[in-house]
Chains A and B, each alone.
Chain A
Amino acid sequence: MVANGPDSFVWWSWVADHTDDIRARTIEHLQLTGSSVAIGFVIAMAMALVSLRWRRTYAPLAAIAGGLYSIPSLALFGFLVPLTGLGFRTAQIALVSYTLLILLRNIVSGIDGVPAAVIEAADGMGYEPWRRFLAVDLRLATPTIIGGLRVATVTVIGLVTVAALVGSGGYGTFIEDGLSRARGFSTPIVVGGSLSIVMAVAFDIAFALLQRAVTPWARRGAAP
Protein backbone atom coordinates (compact mmCIF):
# COMPACT_ATOMS: atom_id res chain seq x y z
CA MET A 1 0.00 0.00 0.00
CA VAL A 2 1.44 3.34 -1.03
CA ALA A 3 -0.34 5.98 1.01
CA ASN A 4 -1.40 4.45 4.29
CA GLY A 5 -2.75 6.90 6.83
CA PRO A 6 -5.69 7.63 9.11
CA ASP A 7 -8.00 7.83 6.10
CA SER A 8 -7.18 4.37 4.80
CA PHE A 9 -9.54 1.47 5.38
CA VAL A 10 -6.89 0.01 7.68
CA TRP A 11 -4.16 2.25 9.02
CA TRP A 12 -1.40 -0.22 9.77
CA SER A 13 0.64 1.97 12.09
CA TRP A 14 -2.44 2.37 14.30
CA VAL A 15 -2.59 -1.42 14.48
CA ALA A 16 1.11 -1.58 15.28
CA ASP A 17 0.68 1.01 18.05
CA HIS A 18 -2.16 -0.89 19.64
CA THR A 19 -0.83 -4.42 19.94
CA ASP A 20 -1.04 -4.28 23.75
CA ASP A 21 -4.60 -3.05 23.49
CA ILE A 22 -5.46 -5.81 21.04
CA ARG A 23 -4.01 -8.41 23.39
CA ALA A 24 -5.99 -7.03 26.34
CA ARG A 25 -9.25 -6.95 24.36
CA THR A 26 -8.64 -10.50 23.11
CA ILE A 27 -8.25 -11.74 26.67
CA GLU A 28 -11.43 -9.92 27.74
CA HIS A 29 -13.34 -11.35 24.78
CA LEU A 30 -12.15 -14.87 25.58
CA GLN A 31 -12.87 -14.51 29.30
CA LEU A 32 -16.37 -13.22 28.75
CA THR A 33 -17.14 -15.91 26.15
CA GLY A 34 -15.58 -18.75 28.14
CA SER A 35 -17.14 -17.89 31.47
CA SER A 36 -20.59 -17.27 29.98
CA VAL A 37 -20.64 -20.55 28.07
CA ALA A 38 -19.29 -22.42 31.12
CA ILE A 39 -21.88 -20.98 33.50
CA GLY A 40 -24.59 -21.48 30.88
CA PHE A 41 -23.52 -25.10 30.47
CA VAL A 42 -23.76 -25.82 34.20
CA ILE A 43 -27.23 -24.25 34.42
CA ALA A 44 -28.44 -25.93 31.22
CA MET A 45 -27.14 -29.29 32.41
CA ALA A 46 -29.05 -28.89 35.67
CA MET A 47 -32.19 -27.93 33.71
CA ALA A 48 -31.69 -30.92 31.42
CA LEU A 49 -31.29 -33.33 34.33
CA VAL A 50 -34.47 -32.00 35.92
CA SER A 51 -36.41 -32.29 32.68
CA LEU A 52 -35.11 -35.78 31.94
CA ARG A 53 -36.06 -36.94 35.42
CA TRP A 54 -39.46 -35.20 35.44
CA ARG A 55 -40.60 -35.10 31.83
CA ARG A 56 -43.35 -32.58 32.42
CA THR A 57 -40.90 -29.87 33.41
CA TYR A 58 -39.22 -29.86 29.98
CA ALA A 59 -41.86 -27.75 28.20
CA PRO A 60 -41.93 -24.96 30.80
CA LEU A 61 -38.14 -24.95 31.18
CA ALA A 62 -37.67 -24.77 27.41
CA ALA A 63 -40.27 -22.01 27.26
CA ILE A 64 -38.36 -19.96 29.85
CA ALA A 65 -35.10 -20.43 27.95
CA GLY A 66 -36.88 -19.59 24.70
CA GLY A 67 -38.37 -16.44 26.19
CA LEU A 68 -34.96 -15.23 27.35
CA TYR A 69 -33.59 -16.02 23.91
CA SER A 70 -36.18 -13.88 22.16
CA ILE A 71 -35.27 -10.66 23.99
CA PRO A 72 -33.12 -8.52 21.68
CA SER A 73 -29.57 -8.32 23.00
CA LEU A 74 -29.45 -4.55 22.90
CA ALA A 75 -32.59 -4.43 25.05
CA LEU A 76 -31.44 -7.13 27.44
CA PHE A 77 -28.13 -5.39 28.05
CA GLY A 78 -30.10 -2.21 28.61
CA PHE A 79 -32.56 -3.88 31.01
CA LEU A 80 -29.75 -5.14 33.17
CA VAL A 81 -27.86 -1.88 33.48
CA PRO A 82 -30.27 -0.35 36.04
CA LEU A 83 -30.13 -3.57 38.05
CA THR A 84 -26.50 -4.63 37.90
CA GLY A 85 -24.68 -1.54 36.66
CA LEU A 86 -22.21 -1.28 33.80
CA GLY A 87 -19.56 -3.89 33.29
CA PHE A 88 -18.53 -7.50 33.01
CA ARG A 89 -21.20 -8.99 35.28
CA THR A 90 -24.09 -7.41 33.37
CA ALA A 91 -22.80 -8.69 30.05
CA GLN A 92 -22.23 -12.10 31.54
CA ILE A 93 -25.80 -12.44 32.84
CA ALA A 94 -27.21 -11.55 29.42
CA LEU A 95 -24.84 -13.88 27.56
CA VAL A 96 -25.52 -16.80 29.91
CA SER A 97 -29.24 -16.37 29.35
CA TYR A 98 -28.69 -16.67 25.59
CA THR A 99 -26.77 -19.94 25.84
CA LEU A 100 -29.47 -21.74 27.85
CA LEU A 101 -31.90 -22.55 25.03
CA ILE A 102 -29.22 -23.88 22.66
CA LEU A 103 -27.51 -25.97 25.34
CA LEU A 104 -30.69 -27.29 26.97
CA ARG A 105 -32.09 -28.44 23.61
CA ASN A 106 -28.90 -30.16 22.60
CA ILE A 107 -28.30 -31.90 25.93
CA VAL A 108 -31.86 -33.22 26.11
CA SER A 109 -32.05 -34.31 22.47
CA GLY A 110 -28.60 -35.87 22.72
CA ILE A 111 -29.57 -37.99 25.70
CA ASP A 112 -32.98 -38.74 24.23
CA GLY A 113 -31.30 -39.94 21.07
CA VAL A 114 -29.45 -42.78 22.79
CA PRO A 115 -30.92 -45.99 21.31
CA ALA A 116 -33.13 -47.91 23.71
CA ALA A 117 -31.33 -51.14 22.82
CA VAL A 118 -28.02 -49.72 24.07
CA ILE A 119 -29.60 -48.72 27.35
CA GLU A 120 -31.18 -52.14 27.80
CA ALA A 121 -27.90 -53.80 27.04
CA ALA A 122 -26.15 -51.65 29.64
CA ASP A 123 -28.87 -52.42 32.19
CA GLY A 124 -28.56 -56.09 31.34
CA MET A 125 -24.82 -55.92 31.97
CA GLY A 126 -25.60 -54.75 35.48
CA TYR A 127 -24.82 -51.04 35.27
CA GLU A 128 -26.29 -49.09 38.13
CA PRO A 129 -28.55 -46.25 36.92
CA TRP A 130 -26.14 -43.43 37.73
CA ARG A 131 -23.09 -45.21 36.39
CA ARG A 132 -25.00 -46.10 33.26
CA PHE A 133 -26.05 -42.48 32.84
CA LEU A 134 -22.46 -41.27 33.04
CA ALA A 135 -20.76 -44.05 31.12
CA VAL A 136 -23.37 -44.79 28.46
CA ASP A 137 -26.07 -42.12 28.06
CA LEU A 138 -23.84 -39.12 28.54
CA ARG A 139 -21.01 -40.66 26.57
CA LEU A 140 -23.20 -41.30 23.54
CA ALA A 141 -24.81 -37.86 23.84
CA THR A 142 -21.42 -36.14 23.90
CA PRO A 143 -21.25 -35.32 20.16
CA THR A 144 -24.67 -33.62 20.28
CA ILE A 145 -23.74 -31.79 23.47
CA ILE A 146 -20.49 -30.59 21.89
CA GLY A 147 -22.56 -29.48 18.91
CA GLY A 148 -24.60 -27.34 21.30
CA LEU A 149 -21.45 -25.91 22.86
CA ARG A 150 -20.18 -25.13 19.38
CA VAL A 151 -23.26 -23.13 18.39
CA ALA A 152 -23.45 -21.44 21.80
CA THR A 153 -19.79 -20.42 21.77
CA VAL A 154 -19.85 -19.04 18.25
CA THR A 155 -23.07 -17.16 18.96
CA VAL A 156 -21.70 -15.70 22.19
CA ILE A 157 -18.48 -14.55 20.49
CA GLY A 158 -20.64 -12.48 18.15
CA LEU A 159 -22.80 -11.13 20.95
CA VAL A 160 -19.80 -10.10 23.05
CA THR A 161 -19.12 -7.43 20.43
CA VAL A 162 -22.50 -5.89 21.30
CA ALA A 163 -21.82 -6.28 25.02
CA ALA A 164 -19.07 -3.67 24.79
CA LEU A 165 -21.94 -1.21 24.93
CA VAL A 166 -22.33 -1.90 28.65
CA GLY A 167 -18.63 -1.53 29.25
CA SER A 168 -17.60 -5.16 29.40
CA GLY A 169 -14.55 -4.84 27.14
CA GLY A 170 -13.70 -7.22 24.32
CA TYR A 171 -13.41 -6.54 20.59
CA GLY A 172 -16.65 -4.56 20.63
CA THR A 173 -14.72 -1.80 22.40
CA PHE A 174 -12.76 -1.20 19.18
CA ILE A 175 -15.95 -1.16 17.14
CA GLU A 176 -17.70 1.26 19.50
CA ASP A 177 -14.58 3.38 19.55
CA GLY A 178 -14.44 3.54 15.76
CA LEU A 179 -18.14 4.27 15.42
CA SER A 180 -18.00 7.14 17.88
CA ARG A 181 -15.07 8.86 16.15
CA ALA A 182 -15.04 11.28 13.30
CA ARG A 183 -15.92 9.88 9.90
CA GLY A 184 -13.27 8.27 7.80
CA PHE A 185 -11.35 6.50 10.56
CA SER A 186 -12.37 2.91 10.09
CA THR A 187 -9.30 1.11 11.41
CA PRO A 188 -10.60 0.16 14.90
CA ILE A 189 -13.87 -1.06 13.39
CA VAL A 190 -12.11 -3.26 10.88
CA VAL A 191 -9.70 -4.56 13.52
CA GLY A 192 -12.45 -5.33 16.06
CA GLY A 193 -14.78 -6.82 13.46
CA SER A 194 -12.24 -9.05 11.79
CA LEU A 195 -10.75 -10.28 15.04
CA SER A 196 -14.16 -11.36 16.32
CA ILE A 197 -14.89 -13.14 13.05
CA VAL A 198 -11.50 -14.88 13.20
CA MET A 199 -12.16 -15.95 16.80
CA ALA A 200 -15.62 -17.28 15.91
CA VAL A 201 -14.31 -19.27 12.94
CA ALA A 202 -11.40 -20.61 14.99
CA PHE A 203 -13.75 -21.88 17.71
CA ASP A 204 -16.13 -23.30 15.13
CA ILE A 205 -13.31 -25.31 13.58
CA ALA A 206 -11.92 -26.34 16.96
CA PHE A 207 -15.30 -27.67 18.08
CA ALA A 208 -15.82 -29.44 14.76
CA LEU A 209 -12.49 -31.22 15.26
CA LEU A 210 -13.40 -32.06 18.85
CA GLN A 211 -16.71 -33.50 17.66
CA ARG A 212 -14.83 -35.74 15.24
CA ALA A 213 -12.34 -36.74 17.90
CA VAL A 214 -15.00 -37.91 20.34
CA THR A 215 -16.84 -39.97 17.75
CA PRO A 216 -14.21 -42.40 16.49
CA TRP A 217 -17.03 -44.80 15.54
CA ALA A 218 -18.40 -42.36 13.01
CA ARG A 219 -15.16 -42.47 11.06
CA ARG A 220 -14.96 -46.23 11.17
CA GLY A 221 -18.35 -46.21 9.53
CA ALA A 222 -19.90 -48.40 12.21
CA ALA A 223 -23.04 -47.57 14.13
CA PRO A 224 -22.49 -46.58 17.78
Chain B
Amino acid sequence: MIQDAIDYLTDSSSWWGRNGLVNLTWNHLRLSGTAVLAAVLVAIPPAVYLGHLRRGGLLAITLVNLSRALPTFAVIAFVFPLSLQYGFGLGFWPTFVALFLLALPPIFVNAYTGVSEIGRDVVEAARAMGMRERDVLRRVELPAALPLLVTGIRVSAVQVVATTTLGALVGFRCLGTPILQAIATRNDGQLIVAAVLVAVLSLLTEATFGVLGGRLTPWARSRTIETKTSVQHAA
Protein backbone atom coordinates (compact mmCIF):
# COMPACT_ATOMS: atom_id res chain seq x y z
CA MET B 1 0.00 0.00 0.00
CA ILE B 2 2.79 2.42 0.94
CA GLN B 3 4.69 1.45 -2.20
CA ASP B 4 1.58 2.17 -4.29
CA ALA B 5 1.36 5.61 -2.72
CA ILE B 6 5.03 6.34 -3.47
CA ASP B 7 4.60 5.17 -7.05
CA TYR B 8 1.60 7.44 -7.44
CA LEU B 9 3.42 10.38 -5.86
CA THR B 10 6.45 10.07 -8.12
CA ASP B 11 4.40 9.79 -11.29
CA SER B 12 4.33 13.27 -12.81
CA SER B 13 1.03 12.59 -14.60
CA SER B 14 -0.72 12.38 -11.25
CA TRP B 15 0.28 15.98 -10.51
CA TRP B 16 -0.21 17.92 -13.71
CA GLY B 17 -2.97 18.37 -16.24
CA ARG B 18 -6.68 18.96 -15.91
CA ASN B 19 -7.17 16.09 -13.48
CA GLY B 20 -3.79 16.45 -11.80
CA LEU B 21 -3.55 16.97 -8.07
CA VAL B 22 -2.32 20.55 -8.50
CA ASN B 23 -5.36 21.63 -10.47
CA LEU B 24 -7.74 19.68 -8.25
CA THR B 25 -6.23 21.19 -5.10
CA TRP B 26 -6.66 24.66 -6.59
CA ASN B 27 -10.31 23.91 -7.44
CA HIS B 28 -10.82 22.48 -3.98
CA LEU B 29 -9.42 25.51 -2.19
CA ARG B 30 -11.19 27.96 -4.48
CA LEU B 31 -14.60 26.50 -3.73
CA SER B 32 -13.84 26.22 0.02
CA GLY B 33 -12.64 29.82 0.09
CA THR B 34 -15.66 31.13 -1.82
CA ALA B 35 -18.09 29.34 0.49
CA VAL B 36 -16.40 30.58 3.66
CA LEU B 37 -16.13 34.13 2.30
CA ALA B 38 -19.82 34.15 1.39
CA ALA B 39 -20.70 32.88 4.87
CA VAL B 40 -18.51 35.58 6.46
CA LEU B 41 -20.19 38.32 4.43
CA VAL B 42 -23.68 37.06 5.20
CA ALA B 43 -23.26 36.05 8.85
CA ILE B 44 -21.03 38.67 10.42
CA PRO B 45 -23.00 41.91 9.93
CA PRO B 46 -26.25 40.65 11.52
CA ALA B 47 -24.32 38.71 14.19
CA VAL B 48 -22.32 41.78 15.22
CA TYR B 49 -25.39 44.02 15.15
CA LEU B 50 -27.50 41.58 17.20
CA GLY B 51 -24.56 41.17 19.57
CA HIS B 52 -24.39 44.94 19.95
CA LEU B 53 -28.09 45.03 20.81
CA ARG B 54 -27.60 41.93 22.97
CA ARG B 55 -30.58 40.28 21.36
CA GLY B 56 -31.06 37.07 19.41
CA GLY B 57 -29.28 34.57 21.66
CA LEU B 58 -32.08 32.10 21.05
CA LEU B 59 -31.65 32.52 17.31
CA ALA B 60 -27.97 31.63 17.66
CA ILE B 61 -28.68 28.43 19.59
CA THR B 62 -31.45 27.40 17.21
CA LEU B 63 -29.19 27.98 14.24
CA VAL B 64 -26.48 25.70 15.63
CA ASN B 65 -28.88 22.90 16.50
CA LEU B 66 -30.60 23.11 13.15
CA SER B 67 -27.38 23.07 11.19
CA ARG B 68 -26.21 19.92 12.94
CA ALA B 69 -29.29 18.06 11.77
CA LEU B 70 -28.67 19.07 8.18
CA PRO B 71 -26.52 16.37 6.57
CA THR B 72 -24.22 18.06 4.06
CA PHE B 73 -24.41 15.24 1.57
CA ALA B 74 -28.21 15.39 1.66
CA VAL B 75 -28.09 19.13 0.99
CA ILE B 76 -25.73 18.64 -1.95
CA ALA B 77 -27.97 15.96 -3.36
CA PHE B 78 -31.03 18.12 -2.75
CA VAL B 79 -29.70 21.15 -4.57
CA PHE B 80 -28.29 19.04 -7.39
CA PRO B 81 -31.55 18.41 -9.31
CA LEU B 82 -32.66 22.02 -8.70
CA SER B 83 -29.37 23.29 -10.02
CA LEU B 84 -29.72 21.19 -13.15
CA GLN B 85 -33.32 22.20 -13.63
CA TYR B 86 -32.61 25.91 -13.40
CA GLY B 87 -29.50 25.77 -15.55
CA PHE B 88 -26.79 26.22 -12.91
CA GLY B 89 -25.13 22.99 -13.99
CA LEU B 90 -23.71 20.21 -11.89
CA GLY B 91 -20.92 20.30 -9.37
CA PHE B 92 -20.11 23.80 -8.25
CA TRP B 93 -23.44 25.26 -7.11
CA PRO B 94 -24.88 22.29 -5.20
CA THR B 95 -21.60 21.93 -3.33
CA PHE B 96 -21.33 25.66 -2.75
CA VAL B 97 -24.81 25.87 -1.21
CA ALA B 98 -24.13 22.95 1.13
CA LEU B 99 -20.75 24.32 2.23
CA PHE B 100 -22.17 27.81 2.72
CA LEU B 101 -24.86 26.40 5.03
CA LEU B 102 -22.21 24.37 6.85
CA ALA B 103 -20.01 27.44 7.36
CA LEU B 104 -22.72 29.85 8.57
CA PRO B 105 -23.48 28.70 12.14
CA PRO B 106 -20.00 28.70 13.69
CA ILE B 107 -19.22 32.10 12.16
CA PHE B 108 -22.53 33.61 13.25
CA VAL B 109 -22.49 32.17 16.76
CA ASN B 110 -18.89 33.10 17.50
CA ALA B 111 -19.30 36.65 16.19
CA TYR B 112 -22.51 37.06 18.15
CA THR B 113 -21.02 35.66 21.35
CA GLY B 114 -17.84 37.69 20.90
CA VAL B 115 -19.75 40.97 20.81
CA SER B 116 -22.56 40.21 23.23
CA GLU B 117 -20.30 38.89 25.98
CA ILE B 118 -18.07 41.93 26.26
CA GLY B 119 -18.36 43.28 29.78
CA ARG B 120 -21.11 45.84 30.10
CA ASP B 121 -18.75 48.05 32.10
CA VAL B 122 -16.41 48.27 29.11
CA VAL B 123 -19.19 49.35 26.78
CA GLU B 124 -20.59 51.76 29.37
CA ALA B 125 -17.15 53.28 29.83
CA ALA B 126 -16.88 53.85 26.08
CA ARG B 127 -20.28 55.55 26.06
CA ALA B 128 -19.36 57.64 29.09
CA MET B 129 -16.28 58.83 27.22
CA GLY B 130 -18.70 60.28 24.69
CA MET B 131 -18.35 57.72 21.92
CA ARG B 132 -21.24 57.49 19.53
CA GLU B 133 -22.89 54.07 19.11
CA ARG B 134 -21.13 53.58 15.82
CA ASP B 135 -17.75 54.16 17.40
CA VAL B 136 -18.60 51.94 20.36
CA LEU B 137 -19.24 49.18 17.87
CA ARG B 138 -16.27 49.90 15.63
CA ARG B 139 -13.60 50.85 18.09
CA VAL B 140 -14.52 48.91 21.21
CA GLU B 141 -16.79 45.97 20.53
CA LEU B 142 -15.34 44.78 17.24
CA PRO B 143 -11.70 44.69 18.35
CA ALA B 144 -12.68 42.97 21.58
CA ALA B 145 -14.72 40.39 19.67
CA LEU B 146 -12.01 39.74 17.12
CA PRO B 147 -10.45 36.62 18.69
CA LEU B 148 -13.77 34.81 18.82
CA LEU B 149 -14.70 36.07 15.39
CA VAL B 150 -11.54 34.58 13.93
CA THR B 151 -12.15 31.36 15.85
CA GLY B 152 -15.57 31.05 14.25
CA ILE B 153 -14.14 31.51 10.78
CA ARG B 154 -11.40 29.00 11.55
CA VAL B 155 -13.82 26.33 12.76
CA SER B 156 -15.93 26.82 9.64
CA ALA B 157 -13.01 26.87 7.25
CA VAL B 158 -11.56 23.62 8.60
CA GLN B 159 -14.93 21.86 8.27
CA VAL B 160 -15.48 23.28 4.82
CA VAL B 161 -12.08 22.24 3.49
CA ALA B 162 -12.66 18.68 4.65
CA THR B 163 -16.23 18.62 3.35
CA THR B 164 -15.57 20.05 -0.12
CA THR B 165 -14.44 16.50 -0.88
CA LEU B 166 -18.09 15.48 -1.16
CA GLY B 167 -18.52 17.73 -4.19
CA ALA B 168 -16.93 15.00 -6.25
CA LEU B 169 -20.12 12.97 -5.81
CA VAL B 170 -22.03 15.49 -7.92
CA GLY B 171 -19.26 15.99 -10.44
CA PHE B 172 -17.32 18.91 -8.96
CA ARG B 173 -13.66 18.30 -9.72
CA CYS B 174 -11.85 18.61 -6.40
CA LEU B 175 -9.72 16.34 -4.22
CA GLY B 176 -12.72 14.07 -3.78
CA THR B 177 -12.47 13.18 -7.46
CA PRO B 178 -9.30 11.08 -7.23
CA ILE B 179 -10.67 9.51 -4.04
CA LEU B 180 -13.84 8.36 -5.81
CA GLN B 181 -11.84 7.26 -8.81
CA ALA B 182 -9.47 5.29 -6.59
CA ILE B 183 -12.33 3.57 -4.81
CA ALA B 184 -13.82 2.54 -8.16
CA THR B 185 -10.53 1.34 -9.66
CA ARG B 186 -9.09 -0.06 -6.40
CA ASN B 187 -6.04 2.16 -6.70
CA ASP B 188 -4.84 2.24 -3.10
CA GLY B 189 -1.87 4.50 -3.77
CA GLN B 190 -4.00 7.21 -5.30
CA LEU B 191 -6.55 6.86 -2.51
CA ILE B 192 -4.00 7.36 0.25
CA VAL B 193 -2.31 10.30 -1.44
CA ALA B 194 -5.56 12.15 -2.08
CA ALA B 195 -6.96 11.45 1.38
CA VAL B 196 -3.78 12.55 3.11
CA LEU B 197 -3.75 15.69 0.97
CA VAL B 198 -7.24 16.63 2.17
CA ALA B 199 -6.26 15.99 5.78
CA VAL B 200 -3.11 18.10 5.32
CA LEU B 201 -5.14 20.93 3.80
CA SER B 202 -7.49 20.89 6.80
CA LEU B 203 -4.57 21.00 9.21
CA LEU B 204 -2.91 23.81 7.24
CA THR B 205 -6.16 25.77 7.32
CA GLU B 206 -6.31 25.33 11.08
CA ALA B 207 -2.68 26.40 11.45
CA THR B 208 -3.05 29.42 9.15
CA PHE B 209 -6.00 30.77 11.09
CA GLY B 210 -4.21 30.04 14.34
CA VAL B 211 -1.28 32.21 13.25
CA LEU B 212 -3.58 34.84 11.76
CA GLY B 213 -5.63 34.98 14.95
CA GLY B 214 -2.48 35.40 17.01
CA ARG B 215 -1.21 38.21 14.77
CA LEU B 216 -4.51 40.05 14.73
CA THR B 217 -4.98 39.92 18.45
CA PRO B 218 -1.63 39.82 20.21
CA TRP B 219 -3.32 40.89 23.44
CA ALA B 220 -5.84 38.10 23.48
CA ARG B 221 -5.68 35.08 25.63
CA SER B 222 -7.31 32.04 24.18
CA ARG B 223 -10.92 32.51 25.06
CA THR B 224 -12.86 30.31 22.75
CA ILE B 225 -16.15 28.53 22.75
CA GLU B 226 -14.90 25.97 20.31
CA THR B 227 -16.18 23.01 22.25
CA LYS B 228 -19.71 24.29 21.75
CA THR B 229 -19.49 24.96 18.07
CA SER B 230 -16.85 22.76 16.56
CA VAL B 231 -18.17 19.35 17.44
CA GLN B 232 -19.70 18.77 14.10
CA HIS B 233 -18.40 16.51 11.44
CA ALA B 234 -19.91 16.71 8.03
CA ALA B 235 -17.33 15.26 5.74
Chain A contacts to B: CB under 8 angstroms: 9, 69-79, 81-82, 98, 101-102, 105, 109, 151, 154-155, 157-159, 161-162, 165-166, 171-172, 175, 178-179, 183-186, 189-190, 192-194, 196-197, 200-201, 204
Our pick among A74, A155, A184 for the contact of B179 (Cβ within 8 Å) is A74
Interface pair B68/A155, CB less than 8 Å apart: yes
> How far, in Å, is A170 (CB) from chain B's closest CB?
11
Instruction: Report Cα–Cα, A210/B136, bound state, in Å.
Output: 42
Interface pair A98/B233, CB less than 8 Å apart: yes
Given A151-B231, A179-B169, A190-B81 in contact, is the A78-B70 Cβ separation under 8 Å?
Answer: no
Name which of B49-57, B189-197, B209-217 contacts chain A.
Answer: B189-197
Given A70-B162, A158-B234, A162-B73 in contact, is the A78-B191 Cβ separation under 8 Å?
Answer: yes
Interface pair B165/A201, CB less than 8 Å apart: no
Interface pair B235/A72, CB less than 8 Å apart: yes
Specify the chain B residue showing the minimal Cβ separation from A195: B74
Interface pair B231/A196, CB less than 8 Å apart: no
Q: When A and B form their complex, which 6 residue pairs have the shortest distance between CB atoms, in order from nearest?
A: A158-B71, A186-B81, A75-B195, A193-B74, A200-B69, A175-B77
Interface pair B73/A175, CB less than 8 Å apart: yes
> How far, in Å, is B224 (CB) from chain A's closest CB?
14
> How far, in Å, is A182 (CB) from chain B's closest CB?
11
Specify the chain A residue showing the minimal Cβ separation from B1: A82
B27 at the A/B interface (Cβ < 8 Å)?
no
> How far, in Å, is A78 (CB) from chain B's closest CB?
5
Interface pair A178/B77, CB less than 8 Å apart: yes
Interface pair B182/A204, CB less than 8 Å apart: no
Given A72-B165, A74-B179 in contact, is the A172-B231 Cβ separation under 8 Å?
Answer: no
Chain B contacts to A: CB under 8 angstroms: 1, 65, 68-75, 77-78, 80-82, 84-85, 162-163, 165-166, 168-170, 176, 179-180, 182-183, 186, 188, 191-192, 194-195, 198-199, 202-203, 227, 231-235
Interface pair B233/A69, CB less than 8 Å apart: yes
Instruction: Report Cα–Cα, A193/B231, bound state, in Å.
Output: 22
Our pick among B68, B77, B80, B85 for the contact of A204 (Cβ within 8 Å) is B68
Interface pair A82/B80, CB less than 8 Å apart: no
Instruction: Report Cα–Cα, A151/B82, bound state, in Å.
Output: 29
Specify the chain A residue showing the minimal Cβ separation from B202: A70
Specify the chain A residue showing the minimal Cβ separation from B227: A105
| B interface, over-half SS | helix
Interface pair A78/B195, CB less than 8 Å apart: yes
Interface pair A172/B191, CB less than 8 Å apart: no
> How far, in Å, is B63 (CB) from chain A's closest CB?
13
Interface pair A192/B74, CB less than 8 Å apart: yes
Given A161-B71, A189-B78, A196-B71 in contact, is the A155-B1 Cβ separation under 8 Å?
Answer: no
> How far, in Å, is A91 (CB) from chain B's closest CB?
13
Chain B residues whose C-beta falls within 8 Å of the C-beta of A196 in the assembled complex: 71, 74
Interface pair B162/A82, CB less than 8 Å apart: no
Chain B residues whose C-beta falls within 8 Å of the C-beta of A194 in the assembled complex: 74, 78
Given A151-B232, A162-B166, A184-B84 in contact, is the A82-B71 Cβ separation under 8 Å?
Answer: no
Instruction: Report Cα–Cα, A224/B74, bound state, in Å.
Output: 40
Chosen A-B contacts, 23 in total, with CB atoms closer than 8 Å, are A9-B81, A69-B233, A70-B199, A71-B199, A72-B199, A72-B235, A73-B235, A74-B179, A75-B194, A75-B195, A75-B199, A101-B231, A151-B68, A154-B68, A158-B234, A161-B74, A162-B73, A186-B81, A186-B85, A193-B75, A196-B71, A197-B69, A204-B65
Instruction: Report Cα–Cα, A69/B199, bound state, in Å.
Output: 10
Interface pair B183/A81, CB less than 8 Å apart: yes
Interface pair B165/A75, CB less than 8 Å apart: yes
Specify the chain B residue showing the minimal Cβ separation from A199: B69
Interface pair A75/B231, CB less than 8 Å apart: no
Instruction: Report Cα–Cα, A209/B68, bound state, in Å.
Output: 17
Specify the chain B residue showing the minimal Cβ separation from A198: B69
Chain B residues whose C-beta falls within 8 Å of the C-beta of A105 in the assembled complex: 227, 231
Instruction: Report Cα–Cα, A201/B71, bound state, in Å.
Output: 10
Chain A residues whose C-beta falls within 8 Å of the C-beta of B180 in the assembled complex: 74
Chain A residues whose C-beta falls within 8 Å of the C-beta of B169 in the assembled complex: 74, 165, 179
